[in-house]
Chains A and B, each alone.
Chain A
Amino acid sequence: MSHKKISFKLNGKTAEVEVEDRTLLVHAIREKLNMTGTHIGCDTSHCGVCTVDIDGESVKSCTLLAVQAAGKNIVTVEGLADDKGLHAVQAAFIQEHGLQCGFCTTGMMMRAYRFLQENPEPTEEEIRWGLSGNLCRCTGYQNIIKAVMTASKNLKEVATAE
């Protein structure tokens, strides 16, 4: 069995972890680093509840080996809020009732966080397409679309104010 010691940035801090070559990134994040906001909802790379942000891109962490993430900059849902409070995406999911069981929410918010940087003023259709890698069983998506719309507006206001 082949083991490696790797390190990467996780939510702004250097994380060092010993993994097997075959360890999936999602397991390294959850089981070795105890960041359990990132979830596992399938074994075929469809559901997107394991979505994290790696070097500025949304990635399904179930379909990446931990060793592939060595040296990268990873943000998980635990890294969204800062000392000023919730990220606009998180606040908007609460306001628009964009979650129920909360299991997809972490991946959904990580995708929305990146999507709104790729496309700051999306149409409803663009949001649905941009979040098509994330499945939700509870909400029927409608309020998630509203949440992303609201987050888009709020982020724009913040940007204008600054």
Chain B
Amino acid sequence: MIPSNFTYHAPSDLEQVFSLFDTYGKQAKVLAGGHSLLPMMKFRFAEPKQLIDLAGIDALKGVTVKDKVIDIGATTTETSILNHPELKKLCPLLVEATRLIADPQVRNRGTIGGDIAHGDPGNDHPSVMLALDATFHLASAQGTRLVKADNFFLGTYQTALQEGELLTRISIPLSVASRPFGFRKLKRKTGDFATAACALTLVKEGNQCREVRIALTNLGPKSFRAEQAEYLLNSTSISEDSINAAVHLAMQACEPAKDQRGDSQYKTNMAGEMLRRALDDAMA
């Protein structure tokens, strides 16, 4: 319950953040919503010496839509995503998935950027971002580089973010955001991380789909795309046989950790079932 000692910083712009990064290096951790970091600090799984609160940086908040891109600031809260007047229409997958993250209080604090940058395979946004072909803006004192969601998640709690970098914005192409989608999450109770979940988007052409993007949650050390299943669905028409084959391929790509949510076999089977249902939803 009691975190170790640290020094708290509340910068008001990005330059100050980078300057603190420069001064403290690996000792520094950014504090966004704090609903993954503080719980880890309370167990002393994490003991950062310097905490940099991003709450005072307005440039990191808010959703804008322009030039065929939905642009979401990293410290936009889950509640702000749910309550946004346009997002439900423009990017229903993101809103549906956000409804199933945590609980109201946590969603008031937890941010989309924190959910992504944490790199927890149990978090929901990583798969949603993979399915939406999102691009992440990683800023540092040297400038900003763009990294696709496909290249961002490297392992459990490991991402492409390097020392001195901050995830500042998330860009989702409107063309993908508006596609038919499916999101299915199996969980033990409201507020729990997924036992297995699947996010997917696709382009429908009669009984055929193309450009399908299938992402799986909590079924390996990181969120990942089931690429062989995607390839198969893109190259055949949708039938009981092709769905069964795709489900089989997706299940082969799973390597879930055994824990209190179930053993590897159960989770893998549930991954197949979540894909089957998400695909049904998207093709309906």
Give chain A's interface residues, CB within 8 Å of chain B. 1-2, 4, 20-22, 24, 40, 43-46, 48, 51, 57-60, 62-65, 67-68, 111, 115, 129-133
Please, which residues of chain B bring their CB within 8 A of the CB of A43?
1, 39, 42-43
Instruction: Say whether B103 faces chain A, with CB atoms less than 8 Å apart.
Output: yes
Closest A residue by C-beta to B43:
A43
Please, which residues of chain A bring their CB within 8 A of the CB of B55?
68
Please, which residues of chain A bring their CB within 8 A of the CB of B104?
58, 111, 115, 130-133
Stretch at the interface among B2-10, B86-94, B140-148: B2-10
* CB contact between A111 and one of B10, B35, B102, B105 (< 8 Å): that residue: B105
Instruction: Say whether B38 faces chain A, with CB atoms less than 8 Å apart.
Output: yes
A22 and B190 contacting across the interface, CB-CB below 8 Å: no
- Nearest 6 A/B pairs, CB to CB: A133-B103, A21-B8, A133-B105, A132-B190, A57-B108, A43-B1
How far is A65 from B38 in the complex, measured between Cα atoms in Å?
9
A132 and B35 contacting across the interface, CB-CB below 8 Å: no
* CB contact between A129 and one of B108, B109, B190 (< 8 Å): that residue: B190
Candidate in B7, B10, B108 with the most chain A CB atoms within 10 angstroms? B108
A48 and B7 contacting across the interface, CB-CB below 8 Å: no
Give chain B's interface residues, CB within 8 Å of chain A. 1-8, 10, 31, 34-35, 38-39, 42-43, 51, 53, 55, 79, 102-106, 108-109, 190-191
A51 and B3 contacting across the interface, CB-CB below 8 Å: no
How far is A161 from B1 in the complex, measured between Cα atoms in Å?
46
* CB contact between B103 and one of A1, A4, A44, A132 (< 8 Å): that residue: A132
* CB contact between A57 and one of B1, B3, B79 (< 8 Å): that residue: B79
A21 and B7 contacting across the interface, CB-CB below 8 Å: yes
Closest B residue by C-beta to A64:
B34
**Cβ of B187 to closest chain A Cβ, rounded Å:** 12
Closest A residue by C-beta to B51:
A21
Please, which residues of chain B bring their CB within 8 A of the CB of A48?
103, 105
Please, which residues of chain A bring their CB within 8 A of the CB of B53?
68
